Structure 1
């Protein structure tokens, strides 16, 4: 039997629409009921008062994906045009408001992987992603309208870890350290640092540079083996690496002896022979002859 199109839902019967005069301005819904390939999204997400539009759209996309789909920053950057920096910020928003969780788990073989858990209800009971939850019995009666989600309590960000301090605070050394930190985003977009974080980290990089560590070696130490989904706090990760991986000072090298003075050539006043001396006069042989004659 062929399937018939479902009748559209009248605009005035939309559950989220207030009665509206036919000729007034504002939004009018013209909806068709979905029967396949649809995802149920709560208004607490689509109308969230604190999330950015990018974070809301990204959450809707993630909730529509099947189990096992990759939602790391590189995969999402290849899918959307916003770029890694904006997508990473949107993922952190969703984590802060309870729509995403990241858990590290050890799989057979000993390898550790990161699992991203999408929550369609931030306040819902957490459970293991591979463990089925028991269905809950709902009391009979009229459907209840869900209460608006409470705004999460905003806490002050944790201070960054301390970094090593250089023995020399020359402006040129700190400038080189600042330029190195500002250039990290060209190697990994997730390492885009604020001006405040850069000022905190610059002395630590300068401490490495004054120990005869090349800028290339410092950059490699800071960017190697980053998490696939990007660090949650890039500046904190860099500060930790600067402090814990600080190399020892270079071995002591005695200063080299200054080269011997090389005098210019002079013409002997006695024999016209060339010799080296600080100024004009006689060569050694002529001076010896004068002493013997005396």
Structure 2
């Protein structure tokens, strides 16, 4: 068996064009004729995405339109748990590959619309119009000679009144297009909406605290019920408040005090207050943040049971370590 595999490898390497590298991977490229997907190197070799996010993005890109790519559907397909798959989806969404929005159907139900872009930044960009070929100029035919005028009755001279000629009619006035200065004041453009605040660095601790605070708003104000997509969209703005040393109680009070009755769109209302009431950074925050020690131990996923636990290094949780020690 080993001899057959070695012989097959020797034949395969002999067909590789060009000199073989002294070390590293050697590619044996066979053209695909069916069941293949084109994936850009900006995704396959992304410098900031995790390996789980790159593999998940490649898998989603290979699926046909209409496939279910929810957390539970992907967790049932792959051995990774829901926590790791949810983190990978958030990475793809943060880098512009994945877009999740809440839309209302014709029957009144609200659903999540998921869009995957094979090239980030192209969603919403105008597509180039196809070029229409310009017809080649053709030589115009020579004009036909004008026919000779036929003699007719002599034309009478212009009508006169007495000794004064009748003036010719004046041309009709050309309608003028009103200039922008003459437009009414009511047609002025509206002021563009403010952008959501973004933190300088959205760490795992800031994301966890911000998302928990937004999900807990309905306990203090039943009107502010946010969906999972709304919480994901508003988490960076809430993390900006936390990054500027705003206590969670202060943020909760700013979002739940003096609510309008009724609150028709809770997500838009929270977005407005997070944007308009954003406090300025404290003096000296930029100089103090790099030297501030990290007091919160990061969350890790257990390599045995996928359970979350706090530790500075990845590994196993306390229960799995006890079982391994007993074994």
Q: One fold, TM greater than 0.5?
A: no
RCO comparison, higher one (Cα < 8 Å, 6+): 1
TM class, shorter-chain normalised? 0.3 to 0.5
TM-score after normalising by structure 2: 0.39
TM-score after normalising by structure 1: 0.43
